[in-house]
Amino acid sequence: MSQMLEGIPGTICHMDDILIWGSTQEEHDQRLTEVCKRLKNSGHIIDGQGIHPDPDKIDAIENYQPPTNKKELKQLLGMANYLARFVPNYSDILFLLTSMLSNKVTFVWEAPQEAAFQKMKKILSSDPVLMIFDPIKETTVTTDASSYGLGATICQKQADGKRAVIAYASRSLTPTESRYAQIEKEALAVAWGCEKFRDYLTGMHFKIETDHKPLIPIFSKKNLGDLSPRLQRIKLRMMKFSYTIIHIPGKDLFAADALSRNPQKVPYKKEELEAEIDAFIQMITSYLPASSRRLYELRVAQLKDETCQKLTDYVLKGWPSKKEVDTLCGPYWQNRYEISVQDGLLMRGCRIIIPKSHQAEVLNQIHEGNLCITKCRARARCSVYWPGISKVIEEKIKSCTACIQESSNRHQPLILTSFPERPWEVLGLDLF
């Protein structure tokens, strides 16, 4: 923005705030006019009705002649991309044209391409309008995922009770994401859609609508420890938002469904995502059910443990093939992508990996109070891990003297109940 307004006297720009002044009213108005001219070259038209695309840019596309090669097609699509936020099925309209940019496709302009070209002109000439966001109004984010894309829409309820669109968004799935299970794609659509509209949503409570019913408990009731590692990471991304998620039948998700099936190709910012996930995992470590002193002891124990040290090297430098993995780390191979180093602690998901020197002590703490095997395993799933921990817990309980005595004395021998012989005598019964 500063570069765009460079050279205009009496103008200061900080982020998206512009201050304009002059020694006289006339000088001020001249500078204001010049600023507005420059902003018009790259901005939208904003008035009382909402946000409109610049008519000059629409005219430029309407008068555009059909391209004759890929270079001209790329220029056309570059202009059309400016209007993407105003058209709910933008990717659908331009899908045939954008696919022609591939190096594997020969440029051919025939009837289907011409039809898509003319359809684009017709829709843009309708002067679509997006409403201006109001932080006081009820806000809803609608998301959906298809086999190859994500779609999202942010709407607000107006005074007449109807919804008005604030913005549309869509993107293609990466090759890795396209191999996700459908529930993981739908969860990814929720997280990505909320992050796409984070400037609107941060600091307010809003609703999320999805047509994938299994997502409701994942984002509302289930704990992180009950989810797969991939769903854990996705749910971590949603912790910065305040929301209520509800199920809507797929037939009512017109915009988001269309967007997901016709996504825009948007760069995938993996580094930013990893930084956010790391921040949330570090936050979780600060709330682990252990004192600071205890966490320090575990860090020191991990540093002294040969297995933990090798695991740390694998996490930081990359895992070798299964055949090349050290025998000490072999039991961790199956869960290698869940293992990370956070705040100096070696962890599997949200659970601390316990070195061998502390496993017996931790096992005693898990079984403290002579809990049954189900409760002991549930307690372990919340905070600690080492290979075979479930089996070790089972063996611990089977060898526990107190548990054996409790189990053997649990059922008293059955006795016969005498049958009443006279009226009004009491007969006691129980079901088991």
| Domain annotation for the chain: domains and CATH numbers | 11-42 (no CATH), 58-128 (3.30.70.270), 131-276 (3.30.420.10), 292-405 (1.10.340.70)
In the structure, what pLDDT confidence band is assigned to residue 187 with cuts at 50, 70 and 90?
Answer: very high
User: Rounded to whole angstroms, what are the CA distances from 199 to 56, 133, 271, 309?
Assistant: 28, 10, 19, 41
**pLDDT value for 287:** 45
Contacts of 415 (CB under 8 A, 6+ apart): none
pLDDT in tens, 219-273: 988 887 778 888 888 998 898 899 999 998 876 654 454 445 545 555 455 555 5
What are the tokens at 220?
Answer: 């509302």
Contacts of 354 (CB under 8 A, 6+ apart): 298, 362, 384, 385, 386
- pLDDT number for residue 129: 59
* pLDDT, tens only, 277-331: 555 555 544 445 556 777 888 889 999 999 999 999 888 888 888 888 898 999 9
Residues 312, 218: Cα–Cα separation, whole Å: 30
Lowest mean pLDDT among 33-42, 131-140, 262-271, 403-412: 262-271
Q: Quick check: 144 pLDDT over 70?
A: yes
In DSSP terms, 155 is beta-bridged to 140, 165
364 half-sphere exposure, CB direction, 13 A CA radius: 3
pLDDT at 201: 92
Torsion, Cα 356 360 365 367, to 10 degrees, reads 120
Query: Does the pLDDT at position 103 exceed 70?
Result: yes
pLDDT on residue 215 = 92
| 227 DSSP β-pair partners | none
Q: Which has the minimum average pLDDT: 116-130, 272-286, 375-389?
A: 272-286
Model pLDDT, residue 100: 86
Predicted local distance difference test score (pLDDT) of residue 262: 45
Cβ-based burial of 234 (10 A; exposed 0-12, middle 13-18, buried ≥19): buried
- Vertex 410, ends 407 and 412: CA angle to 5°? 140
**pLDDT tens digits, 342-360:** 778 888 877 889 999 988 8
Answer whether 226's CB lies under 8 Å from 218's CB: no
Q: DSSP states of 160-189 as a string?
A: TS-EEEEEEEEEEPPTTGGGS-HHHHHHHH
Give the pLDDT mean for 28-34.
Answer: 88
| DSSP state string for 271-317 | HHHHHHHHHHHHHHHTTSSS-HHHHHHHHHHHHH-HHHHHHHHHHHH
Q: Give the C-alpha distances (Å, rounded to integers) separating 131 from 71, 108, 158.
A: 35, 39, 10
At a CB cut-off of 8 Å and minimum separation 6, what does 272 contact? none
Structure tokens at 171: 């993107």
**In angstroms, rounded to a whole number, what is the distance separating the alpha carbons of residues 426 and 422?**
10
Query: What's the pLDDT at 192?
Result: 93
> CA 404: distance to chain centroid?
47
What global pTM score does this model have? 0.47
Residue 271, Ramachandran bin (φ over 0: left; ψ between -120 and 50: alpha; else beta): alpha
- Which whole number is the average pLDDT over 81-92? 60
Distance, CA of 315 to chain centre: 23
Structural contact between residues 225 and 377, judged by C-beta atoms closer than 8 angstroms: no
The span from the CA of 117 to the CA of 95, in Å, is 11
